Amino acid sequence: MTVTDETIVLRTFADAKDAYRAKDLRQSLYDEGEVVMDGVLVNLHGDEHRNRRRVENRMFRRDVFDQYERALFPAVTERTVAPHLAAGKVDLVQLGHELMLNLAALTAGIDRPKGTAEETARLGEYNAKFIQGATLAHSTGDKDAQRVVIAQALDDWDAEFLAPSVERRRELLDREAAGEDVDVPRDVLATLLRHRDELDLDDAVIRREVAFFLLAGAHTSATAFVRAIDHILGWLERHPEDAAAVREDALFMQRCVHETVRLNPSSPTGRRRALAPVTLRSGVHIPQGATVVIDLQVLNRDPELFGPDAAEFNPNRTPPPGVAPFGLSFGAGVHVCIGQDLAAGVVARPGTDPDTHLYGLVTGAVQHMFGVGVRRDPDDPPQRDAATARPYWGTYPVLLGE
Amino acid sequence: MAYRISVDHDACMSSGKCVADAPELFRFDDDEIAEPVPGAPAPSDGRIVDLARNCPSGALVVTDAETGDEVDVG
């Protein structure tokens, strides 16, 4: 047996899909981000992963998303955008994080009893630290110093937000167990507390798991929100005939979001570590101990799958059967993004009923922005974020209203 | 060629995609693991392939009805 530390880069769609489904390739994207990611769902492997995912999947099914998308999120979106609409302008990066944090707090199970802007801003500051923790591998700063700050943020956030949220749910669960008819929130925290003995979860894991759902729900959707608006504004400059579609045709808007996600996966690479030798169907051999890097930026732009303009934004493209319009940006196999349908909805097919279709919360939020006249600020151009090697926007000023 | 589809109980991670996509074919058991609906009509081969491809855990197993061999749906 040979154990190696070599790195194998996969750049074809078929190899990547195969690797994502290989049981002996373990998640390793977050190896440097353990301060937040140790023991969280996406870092588990084998039976431990399957058992936790079985429990958590109950909250990430389409019937729950349907509730969120139709009953809960439109009002939150309108309420979050309203003050900025009144001001006539906003930074899309800040708005994206504010909006998606409001939505992610609901799904993660973090209460904000005061309901004030200051309280939400503090939660946002903590969440920004958690995001730094999860993406530490791509940080351009002093990683050890960042780890200390992030660990302190977890402690402070626990005392201010998590502990009271736990207490409220524990009391409700106790009353439910005693036979009382109570409404226990349908969120990640309540679910973990309900199943903590079965899953052998300690307080530290619950803390990181809830922080992870908060950061993942808010951050990935927030970046997709800004990028989608950027792509669509560019598309409309070249295709003004689609101006009505972005406001009125939710299926068109969903295709725009899927195309955005294809071109801009949340992480530009996937990473796996081989626990045993693996041979992919193509014949690519991965020795035990090797690191596998899945180059999503390249394979999601494969001209053979997505056409000669694969590197361009084109919401009218049709990928071949078996290939999702967002490529492999959500991953595949058992670690496929648990929030995929929540964020991006279900892929429409011929005959899809627009009235019952799930479009995803990013689609709804982006469409809302075009409904309030979002456009670039000619006096204040957008800037990239220099603090990370990931291609994020640092600021994206826009004007709103007529 | 006629395909059959079944659920690998151990592999299923309760994503619920098969139950949402094909409620006439799949439902949850008491542990919220997917199981076939008894007496459900046989779906077309194309539908079977779509459902199996959409299962993130690979728990939907496709077999050749004639030989019983497992079919790789890619």
Which tens digits make up the pLDDT trace of A43-78?
A: 999 999 999 999 999 999 888 899 889 988 899 999
A54 chain-B contacts, CB cut-off 8 A: 12-14, 32-33
Residue A139: its pLDDT value, please? 80
A309/B7 Cα distance (integer angstroms):
39
Contact assessment for residue A265 and residue A371, using Cβ atoms and an 8 Å cutoff:
no
Contact assessment for residue A217 and residue A104, using Cβ atoms and an 8 Å cutoff:
yes
pLDDT band for A1, please (50, 70, 90 cuts): low
Q: What is the mean pLDDT of each run of 10 residues along chain B (74 residues)?
A: 91 94 95 94 92 92 91 84
Residue B60: its pLDDT value, please? 95
Which tens digits make up the pLDDT trace of A82-92?
A: 999 999 999 99
Q: Are strands A285-286 and A278-279 parallel, antiparallel or unpaired?
A: antiparallel
The whole-chain average pLDDT of chain A stands at 94
Neighbouring C-beta atoms of residue A63, cutoff 10 Å: 9
Q: Are strands B34-36 and B26-28 parallel, antiparallel or unpaired?
A: antiparallel
Determine the residue type at A188. Answer: V
Which pair of tokens denotes residue A301? 């732009």
Which pair of tokens denotes residue A282? 């193509």
Q: How many CA atoms lie within 13 A of A229 on its CB side?
A: 31
Å between B45 CA and nearest CA of chain A:
15
Å between B73 CA and nearest CA of chain A:
10
Select from A60, A199, A336 the residue whose CB has the most chain B CBs within 10 Å, as the one to mutate to test that interface: A336
A61 chain-B contacts, CB cut-off 8 A: 15-16, 20
Place of tokens 């009002």: A75
Which pair of tokens denotes residue A387? 């603090």
- Would you give the DSSP letter of residue A337? -
Secondary element (H or E) of residue A90: strand A89-91
Distance, first Cα to last Cα, chain B: 17
Question: pTM value?
Answer: 0.92
Residues 6+ apart with CB under 8 A from A254: A344, A345, A348, A359, A360, A363
Residue A3: its pLDDT value, please? 65
- Chain A interface includes B33 (CB < 8 A): yes
Q: Taking CA atoms, what residue in A is nearest to B34?
A: A54
Between CA A210 and CA B53, with CA A219 as vertex, the angle to 5 degrees is 85
pLDDT at A389 over 80: no
Average pLDDT over every residue of A287-303: 96
**Count, residues in chain B:** 74
Which tens digits make up the pLDDT trace of A147-162?
A: 999 999 999 999 999 9
Residue A322: which of B12, B53, B58 has the nearest Cβ?
Answer: B53
| Cβ within 8 Å, pair B56-A336 | yes
Contact assessment for residue A268 and residue A1, using Cβ atoms and an 8 Å cutoff:
no
Determine what percent of chain A is predicted with pLDDT higher than 70: 99
What backbone phi and psi angles, to 5 degrees, belong to A396? -145, 80
Which tens digits make up the pLDDT trace of A171-218?
A: 999 999 999 999 999 899 999 999 999 999 999 999 999 999 999 999
